[in-house]
Amino acid sequence: MSDTIFITGVSIHAHHGALDHEGHVGQRFIIDLELTADISEASRSDRLSDTVSYANVVATATAAFKDANYKLVERAAGAVAEAVLAAFPKISIIKVTVHKPHAPIAAIFDDVGVILTRARA
C-alpha cells in the first residue's frame, strides 16, 4: 500500500542560477513536494510517530535547497530529494517540483522549472 503526502507552494529565497547576478542577488523559488509513503498505520492510530512530519520535511527540504548555490535548479532539486530520502525512511518515493518564476528568459511566461522523481534504492 502506498499513500501520498503533498506540500505545495513553499517559497524560498536562494542564490541558484547560471548567471553571475543570480548567484549574488538571488531570487524566489517555489518548491512542491509529493511524498509516497505507507501511512496506513497513521490513518488508524492518529499518532504523529506513524506518519511523516510535514514541518520536518519542509525544514529538511529548505535547508538542502539553501545549503549551496547551484547553477542548475536540477541540482538544487536533486539535493532536496537526496536529503529528504536520507532523513525520512518511511518515504519511498519523492517528487520535487522547483518553480523558477523569475528565470532570466527573454519572454513573457507564467512559470518554468523542473520536476524530479527519485525512489529509495
| DSSP sequence for 1-32 | --EEEEEEEEEEEE---SSHHHHHH-EEEEEE
Active site residue 100: yes
Q: How are beta strands 91-99 and 113-119 bridged, if at all?
A: antiparallel
Helices (H), 67-112: 73-87
Of 71, 90, 95, 100, which residue is the catalytic one?
Answer: 100
Interatomic CA distance for residues 3 and 64, integer angstroms: 24
- Rounding to the nearest 10 degrees, give the CA dihedral for residues 67, 71, 76, 79: -70
What residues are labeled active site? 100
